[in-house]
Structure 1
Amino acid sequence: MDKSKLLANRVEVATEDVEIPGVGTVHVRALSRFEVLLSQKKYPDDAMAQERFSLSTALLDPKLTEDEVGVWQRSSLPNEINAVSSVVNRLSGIGKDAAKSDVPGDGND
């Protein structure tokens, strides 16, 4: 096996556009296992902070800080962020939309 293939960054090639009706399109990427685990370690008991971290990491265009994602959380309807988060989770292989994963999903599995 070619070790360089195993260690190559494959996260940033898993990207997708998500249309937010009435707002525009955002471009997101998958999260790495490290990033998923880091969000859980950084904010072990705070799902909103985990979401801010994850979205600020996954959003490529527009690029938002965690604070800006917090403003978005406060100013949008739940289904808007859920739609974006679902795509990030699917690209990352986690959550209820993932086919199979050993990373914990959203608790509905």
Structure 2
Amino acid sequence: SGITFADISAAGSPLEQWDALPTNSKLSFFGAIAFLEWWGENSYALAQSGEKHYMRGGKPGYYPSFNKGGIPHPVPLELFDPFGFTKSMSSERKEKALLAEINNGR
């Protein structure tokens, strides 16, 4: 539609920038968010990852794996720890990192 990033940034405040986006762009945001919400609540994907829904005794905050959850093609990166940095971490190191993250207010 001929709209550039410069056009959007020149619109002004964030709300005005949102209003300046084409409808298809807004729908793509909502579509991606809706998919991630649906996947996180999907009982089949949770079961394939060895978890249950948090309202049924599962772990709050757990997000199911894309690769274990039944997506028909491999997904190169997971959302949590996409590069596998925590796979070889000891539980003590994970606990220390979690505490540091909490202390940093995130």
- The answer, yes or no, to whether TM exceeds 0.5 is no
Query: TM-score, with normalisation over the residues of structure 1?
Result: 0.29
Whose strand proportion is higher, 1 or 2? 1
Query: TM-score, with normalisation over the residues of structure 2?
Result: 0.29
Whose radius of gyration is greater, 1 or 2?
A: 2
